[in-house]
Structure 1
């Protein structure tokens, strides 16, 4: 009986602590856990967001982590912080960190043309055979792949200037590599090819060895693990219909990552605390490689330019978007797929981060208000990201 009473008191204490905990925003003001709950639930209900994971860091440590809504709304199955979610392009941020680990071990050089690591010309690999009539692939380096300056399209099956499906799926180099920014998943796939060939290991093997195990990310992978079957989320389309994600058996550095909010917050803690890499390489990874003047991030090959993001010095580092504001420097990464919407931004000088993961096509409709209300982030280039709020009128 005494044990039951003690457990009850402990549970009560934990719940009370969780509701009274104060989270610090960028301007030094605070928001309580209960206030966060109210904001999140209100926005989810308003925009029809079925499930959402949230983590906030203060002093470069996770101080708030919680799941809201459903991993499968039709079956009324609730999301929790151990539920495996689709990371989408969070994959690229993890791969960038992995690549910097390989740079640190002198396995790959950021500025050596990557074809020099390969056993045959890039155009002789089946996936990149469309490049046989354009030898500008000889210019491409790992730095260009990570900073999205290769000139390659984002996804070969989507037309880079219109964003509509392209059934031909031709890969082309659209501008001289290294000269400007254009988000490219295909560039990351090219770098993956190189890293796998020179190490004779898959990206999954390398990530387990260099990232997941050292950080303690036990429910994360570039491929599906059977232990994930006990608790994973299903995506929800705009109309609420389910959109199950493929359980991949082949890793894709640019987009196959599955993870949990608990695991990914550990990764962001690791990066924010600058663990695992030398100070020099952290500085390299999070320093501007190319300024961004495009009006939108997608479609990727665009002639529309703007000065709207000049005030925040919008640019790209190695695997991360970068900006500056009155609170110092920040680095960010988004993730986007049919029924999954994710965003993470890290104000490194303030030690404040936020991670949002949703299994809902409507997720991005509430990002702007979440960022502003929960941590005071009014700097994320939401128009460039196309994070138009649910009540936005153009």
Structure 2
């Protein structure tokens, strides 16, 4: 009897699994939220049990009013970083990368001796005289803790600078991801675009995803709208950039999210390594990059950096997410581990982001994803 009472008490204390709404209910909620925000285009994918359950696109792909479809090519922005980290973890499985080895193990000469790479990577020669670069590891690069600004051009004189001891804190950095790309390409002799094509896009059948612009994308391409509601053209990216050059579709990103939440393509150990809390996050919000750290009692113990993603603990247990943003783009991927469930949202209107907390909660239930940290604003109410 006592055991039965304990079991009933535990059941009562456990949040009920959210019931996935019907497609019609999702469509209605998306329409309501788009009307609230003024967003012109939005695409949604729902994964549950590791399978793609629903994919739909809404609104316009350009100022001509042409429809946004499931096959419309949209800018992936920093969702690229999660796909890149997944690629790196395959290399970890193959013993080509050790997450905790110094990058000196891969480079043929000291990092500051690589000159003239600023156009493709960063001006590594500006690190001369700061030997802390030798302490940087792949884990630090993938957890945004190498000490860099988001991009070197944010620094005075557009120099690459190590702002704090590598590994000591989280500070979002695209240049960290790009240095990891440099290590793979210049140190290991790999071509990142080809590796991601083979290891990710081909694996999951992501036929309309690429790390560089493809001319065939033009037939069904999303332009975007900025915060003021002004249409802006899609940027045709001509270089592979681990920090965020990926073009994709909602159909393709649904396939990736489902594969990642299932653990396909990685060993169990490498997937766990990617999605475990590797580094506490100690700031009030994600940006500005170098804001002061909070005192320990005000930090969120449920929030940490994984590899290429942010991990959290919420009412449904552990989860992870990654966002992607520029002036005309707002993307997010939120996944709940226990259910192997995700929502992927691609917006070609940056104003759509204000609806994402409500939409994710409507579809998945309350996840605990730290929206105030990610966006720095109070989300729109669901009702």
Is residue 202 of structure 2 the alignment partner of residue 206 of structure 1?
no
CA contact (8 A) 1:368 1:389 kept: no
Distance across 2 between alignment mates of 1:181 and 1:297: 9
Report the equivalent of 1:179.
168
Matched, 1:52 2:42: yes
User: How far 1:269 sits from its partner (Å)?
Assistant: 0.9
Which residue number corresponds to residue 68 of structure 1? 58
Equivalent residue runs for 1:98-117 within 5 Å = 98-117=87-106
Q: Give yes or no for contact 1:364–1:387 (8 Å, CA) kept in 2.
A: no
**1:193 and 2:189 aligned:** no
User: Aligned-pair distance for 1:335?
Assistant: 0.4
1:222 and 2:217 aligned = no
Counterpart CA distance in 2 for 1:26 and 1:242 is: 42
Structure 2 counterparts to residues 138-157 of structure 1, below 5 A? 138-157=134-153
**Post-superposition offset of 1:182:** 1.0
Q: 1:384–1:236: structure 2 CA closer, same or farther, 3 Å change rule?
A: same
Deviations 1:146-184 (A, max 9, x none): 11110111122335xxxxxx6x32221111101111111
CA RMSD of aligned residues (A): 1.8
Offset of residue 120 of structure 1: 2.0
Q: Distance in 2 between matches of 1:149 and 1:349?
A: 28
Give the match's secondary structure for 2:29: helix
**Deviation larger for 53-62 or 370-379:** 370-379
Q: 2:254 aligned with 1:298, yes or no?
A: no
Alpha-carbon offset, residue 244 of structure 1: 1.8
- Please name the residue that 2:262 is paired with: 273
Q: Secondary structure at the match of 1:362?
A: helix
Cα distance between partner residues in 2 of 1:115 and 1:100: 19
Given the alignment of the two structures, is residue 384 of structure 1 paired with residue 373 of structure 2, yes or no?
A: yes
Work out whether 1:317 is the aligned partner of 2:309: no
2:343 matched to 1:347?
A: no
Cα distance, 1:213–1:30 mapped onto 2, change above 3 Å? closer
Matched, 1:129 2:125: yes
Report SS of the residue matched to 1:109.
coil
Which stretch of structure 1 is more off in the superposition, 324-333 or 150-159?
150-159
1:29 maps to 2:19: yes
Give the structure-1-normalised TM-score.
0.87
CA distance in 1, matches of 2:206, 2:229: 30
Aligned residue for 2:154, secondary structure, equals coil
| Deviates most, 315-324 or 234-243 | 234-243
Q: Report SS of the residue matched to 2:320.
A: strand
| Structure 2 match to 1:8 | none
After superposition, give the CA deviation of every residue in 1:17-56 in whole Å (9 maximum; x if it has no partner). xxxxxxxx97333422111111111111121101001001
Deviation at 1:245, TM superposition (A): 2.9
2:3 is matched with: none
Q: Would the aligned equivalents of 1:341 and 1:358 in 2 still touch at CA under 8 Å?
A: yes
Deviation at 1:283, TM superposition (A): 1.0
Q: Tell me if structure 2 keeps the 8 A contact 1:85–1:359.
A: yes
Query: Tell me, what secondary structure is at the counterpart of 1:71?
Result: coil
Shift in Å, 1:71: 0.6
- 2:349 corresponds to which residue? 360
The whole-number CA distance in structure 1 between the counterparts of 2:23 and 2:76 is 25
Q: Distance in 2 between matches of 1:90 and 1:350?
A: 21
Is the contact between residue 54 and residue 354 of structure 1 (CA under 8 Å) also seen in structure 2?
A: yes
Q: So what's the TM-score if we normalise by structure 2?
A: 0.89
Instruction: Give the Å deviation of 1:272.
Output: 0.9
How far apart in 2 are the matches of 1:43 and 1:123? Answer: 49
1:232 to 221, 229, 241: 221
Q: Distance in 2 between matches of 1:171 and 1:252?
A: 17
Unpaired segments ≥5 residues, structure 1: 1-24, 160-165
Question: CA shift at 1:391, angstroms?
Answer: 5.2
